[in-house]
Amino acid sequence: MHPIERLRYVARVGGVDQGELVREAASALSGLGDDPGGLIMSCRRLLDRHPTAGALWFLCARMLTAADARAEAWFATEELEQDPTPSHLARLLPDEARVTVVGTCPVNSSTR
């Protein structure tokens, strides 16, 4: 599958675990590792579609600032997979706890 088609798939997917979203995005974005302009544009479009996906922001930031974007995609993905924070939080929250996540609304394109 062409990297652009894969990026379209990742941009359209909804209701998926952030770990899976980052793995798919890393795979698709790594196909653009030799095209800095395409990488910037693709990261921007993915983040426009998934503005509350913190792990995706992390991946894009790491790839865009790395000397080797392809390698960095996999380093960042591995780092996220090994992060113990989610299991620590799950262990510390009582079973009957309710968690509210407050997101931000994307900026209206007319106000940019």
For 76-107, write each residue's pLDDT tens digit: 999 988 988 878 888 888 888 887 766 555 55
Torsion of CA 105, 97, 19, 17, to 10 degrees: -70
Note the pLDDT of residue 2. Answer: 60
Residues 6+ apart with CB under 8 A from 24: 6, 9, 10, 13
Q: Residue range 9-28: average pLDDT? A: 79
Q: Residue range 43-60: average pLDDT? A: 90
Note the pLDDT of residue 89. Answer: 83
pTM here is: 0.74
Gap between the Cα atoms of 74 and 7, Å rounded: 16
Per the CB < 8 A criterion, the answer to whether 39 and 29 are in contact is yes
* Residue of 85 and 62 predicted with greater confidence: 62
Mean pLDDT of the chain: 82
